[in-house]
Amino acid sequence: MDLLRAFHDFTFNTSLAKLFPNPFTLACFLLLVWSVAPAFSGRLGRSFVVLTRLSWAVFGLYGLSGVLLALAGHKVASAVVAAGSSVTKYGFAPDPKRNLEHWMYTVFALSSLYFIEVLIAGKLIERRKGLYFLPLVTLFLWGCAYMIGRVAVFPGES
Q: Is residue 138 a contact partner of residue 28, using CB atoms and an 8 Å limit?
A: yes
Residue 84: its pLDDT value, please? 85
Q: Can you tell me the distance from the alpha carbon of 90 to that of 72, in angstroms, rounded to the nearest whole number?
A: 21
pLDDT at 119: 93
pTM above 0.75, yes or no: yes
Per-residue pLDDT of 76-109, as tens digits, reads: 888 888 888 888 888 888 888 899 999 999 999 9
Distance of CA 79 to the CA centre of its chain: 18
Least Cα distance to 63 among 113, 14, 115 occurs for 113
At 124 the pLDDT is 86
Q: What integer pLDDT is reported at residue 6 of this predicted model?
A: 87
Percent of the chain residues topping a pLDDT of 90: 60
At 155 the pLDDT is 80
Assess contact for 8 and 63: CB atoms under 8 A.
Answer: no
**d(Cα 130, Cα 111) in Å, to the nearest integer?**
16
Residues in the chain: 158
Condensed to tens digits (0 to 9), the pLDDT of residues 116-154 reads: 999 999 988 999 999 999 999 999 999 999 999 889 888
Decide: residue 25, CB within 10 A, 0-12 exposed, 13-18 middle, 19+ buried: buried
pLDDT in tens, 16-63: 777 888 999 999 999 999 999 999 998 999 999 999 999 999 999 999
Give CB contacts under 8 A, 24+ apart, made by 116-123: 116/31, 116/52, 116/141, 117/52, 120/44, 120/48, 120/49, 120/52
